[in-house]
Structure 1
Amino acid sequence: MKATHNPPTAQVSPADLLRMAALYLRQHGWTQGTYYATTDTLTSPACAVGAIGMACAGKPVLHPVLLSSVDEDIYHQSIAALVDYLDAFAPVFHVDEDGHLLDEHTSPYSWNDDPARTADQVITALEKAADEWDRLHTQGGENR
């Protein structure tokens, strides 16, 4: 390979990023109430969305607008894939005192921060959301 030759790079899918986020949580731990237990280390425990940020950027992501446009796009697609999975398989909807639905989608933040939530549930949801994204978007390993 010549020094000027640029090897092809593989496109990372939301499913890839969700699986990397689950692996990150397995290796570095999970937290609630904040994206990261601390931002002064590259291996801080993270919430579900924080782990997606770490998988995307390799460092804590406090503001997705600071990501490159490609990274910001895949970051948001991955969160949307998690929300779609939660809506279908683990919905948590908030209703006001009059019984009106406040949000039609499950918030991954509220879901993560539920006091009854466990790290295993979060890791499993990330992995299953990845599987569901693959099921809906790929055919024989190729994007539809």
Structure 2
Amino acid sequence: MKATQNPASGVRVTPADLLRCAALYLRRHGWHQGTYYAPTTDILTPPACAAGAIGIATAGHKVEHFSQLDPSALADYLAAMATFVDYLDDFHPLFDIDEDGFVIDEHTSPYSWNDDPSRTAYQVVTALERAAERWDRLHTQEGGN
């Protein structure tokens, strides 16, 4: 499709679409830990963390914080992040526990999970892709939404 063409009306981007785009972004441009994007000034497509890649997949450009997204893009971003968190909770749980042994947060933080020192780019890309596949299995019937 050329930039001057209008996209088909009625087509809705799913969380699975955004997660696959985020995984593709990381494959093409690299993975990063510690911040949304690797600190560069001369690259429009810097290496990104999982959340940063989902932000780029949603907005089409770097997003320093999800609050910078317009309302419809924000809803898409949050749905994709929730889908990713649900996947991590079920298959890669990583919970913060306080000094008394109580769980601080009931959901796996995608930020902490991404930034775990033992994490690899392969694991992050694979988790994004599997979260997308899981969303499709749970939300589609016979290939349709």
Q: TM-score, normalised by structure 2?
A: 0.91
Residue-by-residue CA offset, 1:55-111 (whole Å, 9 max, x unaligned): 111111112222121111000000000000000001001111101110100000000
Determine if the alignment matches structure 1 residue 94 to structure 2 residue 99: no
1:31 paired residue number: 32
**2:53 counterpart residue number:** 51
Q: Which residues of structure 2 form unaligned runs of 5+?
A: 1-5
Q: What secondary structure is seen at the aligned counterpart in 2 of 1:83?
A: helix
Deviations 1:3-26 (A, max 9, x none): xx9842521000000000000000
Identical pairs, percent: 62
Q: Which residue is equivalent to 2:77?
A: 75
Q: Which residue matches 1:22? A: 23
AA paired with 1:20?
A: C
Distance 1:46 1:56 in 2: 14
Q: Distance in 1 between matches of 2:144 and 2:27?
A: 28
Question: How high is the TM-score relative to the length of structure 1?
Answer: 0.91
The one-letter code sitting in structure 2 at the alignment partner of 1:116 is S
Any gaps of 5 or more consecutive residues in structure 1? none
Match of 1:103 in 2: 105
> 42, 60, 63: which one pairs with 1:61?
63
Kindly report structure 1 stretches of 4+ aligned residues shifted beyond 3 Å: none
Distance in 1 of aligned mates of 2:132 and 2:28: 18
Q: CA 1:6/1:128 → structure 2, altered by over 3 Å: closer, same or farther?
A: closer
